[in-house]
Amino acid sequence: MKENISLLGKNTFGFDIKTKYYVEVNSVEDVENLIDNKVFTAFRDNNRVLILSGGSNILFKEDYFDGFVVHNNIKGKEVLEDDCGTVTIRCMAGEIWEDFVDYTLSESLYGLENLSGIPGYVGAAPVQNIGAYGVEVKDTISQVHTIDLFSGEKKVFSNEECEFSYRNSVFKKNRGKDYLPFIYAVDFKLKRKSELKIDYGNIRKSLEDNKITNPNNRDIANIIKKIRNEKLPDTDVIGSAGSFFQNVIIGSEKYKELKGRFPEMPSYAEKDGSWKIPTGWLIEKSGWKGYREGNVGVWDKQALVLVHYGGGKPEEITRLSEKIQLSIAEMFGISISTEVNII
């Protein structure tokens, strides 16, 4: 356990945040021992504990976190079952997500290729129900293994018990003053047979442009990483947390109204009759794409991304995001929510 530690290398926005206490856990036993630590329990009981993975989906409100940061570094993976074209793999939560995806690609497994290039750790994937290019991680997760940082009780959540929804889950919704789930492993069910999803965004066009007529999982992953790299900043150079806002889900009546006003508006039909609208388009339409305000701004290649050019404070990003939310509400009559977790 360390005191007054900088989190500069542990948040992709690149803010020099300091935390009161910091500890790295490398095993489930480390987590169990932490629950008996009096300093930890004092901060936990006051709701001042943050479980940190890759720091790629987080924004601190201030440059000092008066709390206790627990960094998940539990590594490892194993094949649990390989039967009838379905392979079940347990991956520990401290593994880097992109490394795990790459492992599944090398094993000729299908299901995660569209989620290639997403930063962060495996343990954060179910919390946020990460998704990209028409795929959500909920479609491949079979179980999530947790330990409650209050009681020490271990619980295995089935896919249904995870209560997955758009960028949400039970792990995000139910954290409270007497319950704090720490995810230490995730079980995935992947396929050996190709079930590629290439009709979202410009995946199909990119395949055609590259003259790939019979793509495999690696082809899709490479195309998606290329698209992402063209749109997103390199966080080693310019700070960001990827998509800052969630895409918008609206009802059919609101959809008809907006489509009447903006016929060019892109949209994707959902199974329940609602419509998903790309928030990046809304932000660009409102004139924010490429906007800069001091040390922060809106990325000029992807309007969903807010960036930190260096030398700034976290509150600058917060103020900019609030201005954008107000602008969208005034122009379209809808509210947009942050995808980034603001602490």
Q: What amino acid occupies position 226? A: K
**Distance in angstroms (rounded) separating the CA atoms of residues 19 and 11:** 12
Question: How far is C-alpha 95 from the chain's CA centre?
Answer: 15
**Distance in angstroms (rounded) separating the CA atoms of residues 167 and 227:** 21
The answer to whether the beta carbons of residues 133 and 197 sit under 8 Å apart is yes
Among residues 56, 142, 243, 321, which one is catalytic? 243
Among residues 113, 136, 316, 339, which one is catalytic? 339
Clarify whether 243 is annotated catalytic.
Answer: yes
**Distance in angstroms (rounded) separating the CA atoms of residues 240 and 260:** 34
Terminus-to-terminus CA distance in the chain, angstroms? 21
Among residues 167, 206, 240, 316, which one is catalytic? 167
Which positions ≥6 away from 65 have C-beta within 8 Å?
7, 17, 18, 19, 20, 50, 343
Residues labelled catalytic? 167, 243, 339
